[in-house]
Chain A
Amino acid sequence: MHELSLAQNLISQVLNLAREHQAKKVLRVSVEIGPFSGVVVDSFRFGYEVLSQEHGETRGSVLEIREPEQSFRCFSCGHVFNGKKMGDPCPDCKEGTLVAWGGDDIILLSVEME
């Protein structure tokens, strides 16, 4: 995957926010990585740690990563379940099969700065 370019993308967005708010220092960046994003979390974190050193604003900032559990939605009745597998039969309607539901992206949740 292209974790490094994703990390670069995140840092650009954070730097824009810092400039917009005239902040000197970014302390903490919180993101959510969707369970279906295919992103390798360790590589992404490594990319962030390396690239954040390049800018005074982001140097030394903490990257906080949330990784929600996978959830699945029944193709037929639409109910959503956790702790299941793709393609399992639906525990509710017994008719449909479960397909991946949401969470295929990286979301920038919040930035703490001063």
Chain B
Amino acid sequence: MCESCGCQGQGSFKKEIGVIEVNQRLLAANDAQAEFNRHYIEKLGALSINLISSPGSGKTTLLEKTIDALAGELRIGVIEGDIETERDADRIRARGIPVVQLTTGGACHLDAHIVHKGIRTLETQLDRTGLDLLFIENVGNLVCPVSFKLGEHLRAVLLSVPEGSDKPAKYPKAFMTSQVFLITKTDLVPYFDFSMEEAEREATRLNPGLEKFRLSSVTGENFDAWVGYLRNLLKKYRNILKD
């Protein structure tokens, strides 16, 4: 600073910066990382699916049953997202499947950066042949995970019968940004006031292109259709990757 008058020594031509136009989405950095993850997953040869639902809708159980149904046929890997604990990963590990547990330490969603770490760790458990399906089980939450792309090819939203058939109307964004809608725990329909028609109608209103399944991990209802859908999808995906 100037000793005699305290000026900043910049003369009177003080640098005016003014208004900077930015026009950038806040999530741009996450989206860019997600795009990178998607390419990375494609190098592993895998089709990736991001599972989103409220806590306890049956995501891990769905994974267990899907793994059983495709055992010996497709190579499956799983990334588990939870706020705390290794419990979900332990359940998957018990089936001899490559799995990584990500704990967010409080955050209500996975983001593309943490998933990238998960992919790199999962990679160390794979042999040279790679993977067919990579499931990413998001933190149980029907709101926050929706905004964060992870690098998935497909997003599946689960709604379990005890939660009520009004949820698509109340949490629209989860249904608008997914390609697959799974109603889970259909074995509980006799005990709850749940209308399949209402849930599917509301979800279709939000997103007419949604693929829909009604599943029970207890009775195995419609698992053939679900697993068939995955097989078919993987076939299409492989054809696209070849081109």
Residues of A87-114 at the interface with B, using a CB-CB cut-off of 8 Å, are 87, 96-97, 99-100, 104-114
- A28 and chain B: residue at smallest CB distance: B19
Q: Are B25 and A106 in contact, CB atoms less than 8 angstroms apart?
A: yes
Q: Are B108 and A2 in contact, CB atoms less than 8 angstroms apart?
A: yes
- B205 and chain A: residue at smallest CB distance: A87
- A105 and chain B: residue at smallest CB distance: B25
Tell whether A6 pairs with B107 under 8 Å between CB atoms, given A36-B173, A100-B172, A110-B20.
Answer: no
Q: Are B172 and A86 in contact, CB atoms less than 8 angstroms apart?
A: yes
Whole-angstrom distance from the CB of A12 to the nearest CB of chain B? 10
Q: Are B22 and A17 in contact, CB atoms less than 8 angstroms apart?
A: yes
Residue numbers in B under 8 Å from A21 (CB-CB) = 17, 20
Q: Are A2 and B23 in contact, CB atoms less than 8 angstroms apart?
A: no
Tell whether A110 pairs with B22 under 8 Å between CB atoms, given A1-B143, A2-B108, A86-B206.
Answer: yes
B7 is an interface residue with CB less than 8 A from chain A = no
Q: Are B207 and A99 in contact, CB atoms less than 8 angstroms apart?
A: yes
Mask: chain B, 179-213; 1 = CB below 8 Å from A; 0 = not = 00000000000000000000000000111110000
Residue numbers in A under 8 Å from B176 (CB-CB) = 36, 99-100
Q: Is chain B's binding surface mostly helix, strand, loop or mixed?
A: mixed
Residue numbers in A under 8 Å from B143 (CB-CB) = 1, 38
When chains A and B are docked, how far (Å) is the Cα of A27 from the Cα of B24?
19
Residue numbers in A under 8 Å from B208 (CB-CB) = 75, 96-97, 99
Residue numbers in B under 8 Å from A77 (CB-CB) = none
When chains A and B are docked, how far (Å) is the Cα of A80 from the Cα of B33?
31
Q: Are A86 and B205 in contact, CB atoms less than 8 angstroms apart?
A: yes
With beta carbons under 8 angstroms apart, the residue of B19, B22, B177, B209 that contacts A108 is: B22
Residue numbers in A under 8 Å from B177 (CB-CB) = 104
Mask: chain B, 10-43; 1 = CB below 8 Å from A; 0 = not = 0000011111111111110000000000000000
A53 is an interface residue with CB less than 8 A from chain B = no
Q: Are B25 and A107 in contact, CB atoms less than 8 angstroms apart?
A: yes
Residue numbers in B under 8 Å from A99 (CB-CB) = 176, 206-208
Interfacial residues, chain A to chain B (CB-CB below 8 A): 1-2, 5-6, 9-10, 13, 17, 21-23, 28, 36-38, 75, 86-87, 96-97, 99-100, 104-114
